Chain A
Amino acid sequence: MRLSPDEMIFWQHGFLKLNGTIVFTWALMFVLAVGSKLITRNLSTELERSRWQNLLEIVVTGIEKQIEDVGLRHPKKYIGFLGTLFLFVALASLCTVIPGYEPPTGSLSTTAALALCVLVAVPFFGIEEQGLGGYLKSYIEPTVIMLPFNIISELSRTLALAVRLFGNMMSGTMILAILLTITPFIFPIAMSALGLLTGMVQAYIFSILAAVYIAAATRGRKPRPEPAQDIKA
């Protein structure tokens, strides 16, 4: 029994290897990029537009609205990072309906990579917004005593991001696999539907948390206690 698609190795050459996680990620990347390219190839600026363009506009403007709601003043600047996080995670879980597919987010390596990206993006955007001094100053606020706790918080929330997504996605796949062996009829479908819902919720949580962290860093204030702790499935 595989815990993650990492163990599905297609090709290996010493340190380099081509496992299921990377291959499925590429597939998702291909679908996203080519699909976007195809749809946005003939964009209309008129009042009439194609259904696909309408769909993409809804998705993109929806994400933009969410980012703005979190408190980021220039959503267009962050939509590339935060939007891609959401779309990748959401599509990864949506595609679980395809037989033989395993979500790359079910691999701790992928979720860790995404969490690391967030870990890097937060100070990147923070420094870009309020300068190096301003960003570093936020670690010793309200007092210097808080500095270690802030650092621990920074690391722990990255770890939490990675593990939360991995746990949810992996469990979904695992439960489905186990259930198929016990009750192969009907019940796995219900669980699969539940898995899709969980996947969407996790995609939302992941990107919103990243947005909150970035918003906290760019505004030079300590983030409030993680709301995700309460929502966490």
Chain B
Amino acid sequence: MTLEFGARTTLGDFSYDARFEAGNEIVVLFGHSGAGKSLTLQIVAGLLRPTHGRIVISGEPVFDSGTGLNLPPQQRRLGYVVQDLALFPHMTVAENVAFGMAGADRDRRLGEVLDLMHLAPFHDRKPRSLSGGQQQRAALARALARESSLLLLDEPFSALDESLRVELRRELIRLRSELDLSVIFVTHDLREAHLVADRLAVFDAGRLLQFEGREKVFRQPANRRVAELTGVANILRGRVAAAREGELVVEAGGERLRAPAPSGWQPAEGEAIDLAIRAERVNLRRLEADDPGQPNLVRGTIREELAYGATHTLRFESAVGQPVEVEIAARPYEVLGVAGQRSWTLELPPEDLHVMPVSPEAPSSAPSASATTA
């Protein structure tokens, strides 16, 4: 299964423009509400017609503004689970699941899908008599019963409580490999995105900002906005002091920091850049352990502290002239004795620093991340 997607449209003041390709994987569309994630699914499903674009599912074009082709939803073979599930209230679970099925061996396949989703005991129940998790399974089963290898899931677990979500995410990952599915999964939950994604597409204000492997997006966000959306707590404004082979020296505040040169673009000396480092990547060191030969050590003083139980979030006033946030697990927090000591040395390991262009129009780290339509 492959999905080639490109679409451009405007809805009132909202302008939407995105293109990407998906294969046999879980692609997570991530972003705030109103970013265009659900819209993308509606366009793929044929429920919303973009003004321009081309959509090809497994080699078969289903929409092409160039030729005027626009297959109606009922002719696009895909499974679509909407956010509020929309289980047909007047039908039983079995009737719901069988709704999209056709063919002679329908009964056998219905039994298979119900078994697969552990719904057999609820065969004759109406949806409203099911628990939230069971309803979720029923909606998923109904979409799977289409026997399409493309599954569109719009915030499928958002209405469930945390324990159920954990279970269903695990189930989704199991189903994906068992049934060889391609899944387009919409969520605004960062942890959920990280857990289920093979590749991550970050949407903001109708634009696809970055679309790459999950680790790549989390470690090397294309720009400040992607870094903000993916929860990078520290985005420091700096200037390139020196550009060497594979490495940059960046000046931030009064400090000089070494960082790996970004892939895909070459910042010039003197150019302003953004420097991203996740709060959990910053190390704390005691002041007396300072080693003058080691790079990327910065003095800082704790100004604010939040205890989350398993972790502590510390906000430092630092020598880079901008606040630095550090996340530290409860155990090292105690071992280091952070509670009794305000002044620390912050280590920003070069390999965890990521240099981003300041201008949002600058090229990002890979060609596929480009969101603008030609």
Report whether chain A binds chain B.
Answer: no
